[in-house]
Chains A and B, each alone.
Chain A
Amino acid sequence: MNKLNVLTLAACVSAALTMAAPLSAPAADKIVISNWDGYMPEDLLSNFEKATGIQAEHAVHATNEEIMGKVVASGGRGYDVLFVSSPFAEALKQLQLAAPIDHSLIPNLRNLYAEAGQLGYDPGNTFSVPYAWGTTGLCYRADLVSGAPGSWEDLLSPQADLRGKVTMLSTDRWLMAAGLLSLGYSVNEKDAARINEAGDLLIEAKRHLLSYDDTTFYSKLVSGEAALTHAWDGWCNYGIAENADIEYVIPREGTDLWVDTMVIVAGSENREAAHRFIDYVLNAEVGAWVASNILYKVPNKAAMDALDPALFTQFPNLAMKPADLLRQEQLRDLGETQKAYTRMVTKILSSR
């Protein structure tokens, strides 16, 4: 107990000192990284420090929106590198909170696939560097669904025996995307009439849902509570890991390509160290860790090449080719139209 008290005291003193530090002199080599919990190897920061001598502090955020709120409120002070999904990287850029990426400081960019430099929201990686990417589609129990689902229609108006055994994502962009894509519209549709049309379709689809589920759908598949779910490919893999009858498919109308990126905050007082951190993350070992532990695809060719081929057999969606990924539409920040999406999602979720 005493030891704990001493540690707490030490932590308080050092916290007080760090808070006071920027006033006197910017800490020479110390950066703050904010990432989703568990989204990078636990020893990444200590290994990085050993390799470079740069101290890195780990902050966590649960959602993109949470870190956006913090960064916007503080004007970007207090963070150096953020892990956010691409529309949020785009918003940071628009808010002038994202620093330009200096490619000469990140030699490991050569590890990335050529496609990773051709992403529509940031061609040439000028303000963001992709970390992981994937698609959204249907994750289902092949043994409980007769005939393989292959269309968004299968999710929105499921066959009779699947009614009440279907879940959908409720996060605004992905929920709307299911309706928009099934009508042949863009996942970034801005036309009010088309947004309404998709909304009506999704309200209709709600009648057949078991629930909306963004976090535990794969365990519902494993338990058999659900048979067909709207899912991100990486998360579907968590279900596949527990039950080999679970499969993932991209509907034939197409889907979105989501990209989680690293952004250097414009207010960073240590941009060079931040660049070195990104360079370190882009080494093949870190990428391979992400792919084999989190079961997400990484845009890092060196890392994907280093993976155990058995992983591709067990989780076929890991083997998706970058060129195929790039064929899917990327989610873009909606600007003013975001309000219309939010209101429509509220309408869908509150409908009876």
Chain B
Amino acid sequence: MGGRLKNGLLLAPGLGWLGLFMVVPCAIVFFFSFFERGTYGGIEYHFTLENFRRTLDPLYLSILLDSGRIAALATLLALLIAYPAAYAISLAPRRRQSVYLFLAILPFWSNYLIRTYAWMVLLNREGIVNRALASLGVIDAPLPLLYNEFAVVTGLVYNYVPFVILAVYASVSRIDPALREASEDLGAGAARTFLRVILPLTVPGVVAGCVFVFVLSIGNFITPDLLGGGRFLMVGNLIYDQFLTARDWPFGAGLSMMLIGIMMALLFIQAVMVNRNAAVRE
């Protein structure tokens, strides 16, 4: 009984925090999504499902699909970069591993906005990359590196790669070295050992990292706005605009609920995959 009480007390701050700053705001957003925008902004308390119907407008659906495509592309690239890095870190001597991990998260020491502006300084028409290439004689006219999809995806990948490295590393480093040796003793080559033993065991880390990148990317509005030069509208920008430009909180709330629904579905799938993996291991 005492243990239960202690557990409850230990959980209280976390639960209180989540309740106050996540559950309550989400409930408010959910509540707003059933009402109408007043003619001059604000909310009119007439019950309606119009906001959800509007999210199905082909215009908004195409923005959602496009955001999903950009987020998926960023996720794939982040994984291709992060997996080998995490794997290499796990193979390094123990002492070096923490140094490498420290280096991987080093970018987080500066602010997201500042890192994004740094990319603008690098990529713009008169920027460092174009000047360097021009002075080396590689190009005659500046390359369009900024304000396009390339810049948006680059920004997203850059910002979220460290999360995938950490997630995959957490999985890889837990694999018992004896498993690898056993696989090799039984005659499997390096490639086969990786594909049949290592990769399946790192699925939870891969999925966790991917869900992280995807969820953060699809809702991101700063990167498309700055690196995309406002020429790309992702669903995060769409929601931002409803709240901050159109003064249409109910529709913004409806769009938010749709996005939250998608994210919850993804997290649910992740949880199922992790559980299945755990069951296989047992």
Contact = CB atoms under 8 A, between A and B. Distances in A.
B144 interface: yes
Nearest to B67: A350
Contacts of A212: 229-231
Nearest to A349: B233
Interface of B: 37-42, 59-60, 62-63, 66, 124-126, 144, 146-147, 228-233, 237-238, 241-249
B241 A224 contact: no
Interface string A56-79: 000000010110110011000000
A327 B146 CA distance: 39
Given A211-B147, A211-B230, A213-B229, A335 B244 contact: no
A223 interface: yes
Contacts, number: 90
Size bracket of the A interface:
35 or more
Nearest to B144: A164
Interface of A: 63, 65-66, 68-69, 72-73, 91, 94-95, 164, 167, 170-172, 206, 209-213, 223-225, 333, 335-336, 338-339, 342-343, 345-347, 349-350
A349 B230 contact: yes
B229 A65 contact: no
B53 to A, nearest CB: 14
10 contacts: A65-B41, A65-B247, A68-B247, A171-B245, A172-B246, A224-B126, A342-B241, A345-B241, A346-B238, A349-B233
A135 B71 CA distance: 39
B60 to A, nearest CB: 8
A223 B126 contact: yes
Contact of A350 (B42, B62, B242): B62
B41 A68 contact: yes
Given A68-B247, A211-B147, A333-B40, A346 B63 contact: yes
A225 to B, nearest CB: 5
Contacts of B244: 63, 65-66, 69
A223 B126 CA distance: 7
A185 to B, nearest CB: 21
Given A225-B124, A347-B59, A350-B233, A91 B241 contact: no
Residue from A66, A91, A95, A349 whose CB has the most chain B CB atoms within 10 Å: A349
A343 B59 contact: yes
B1 to A, nearest CB: 39
Given A91-B40, A346-B238, A210 B229 contact: yes
B218 to A, nearest CB: 15
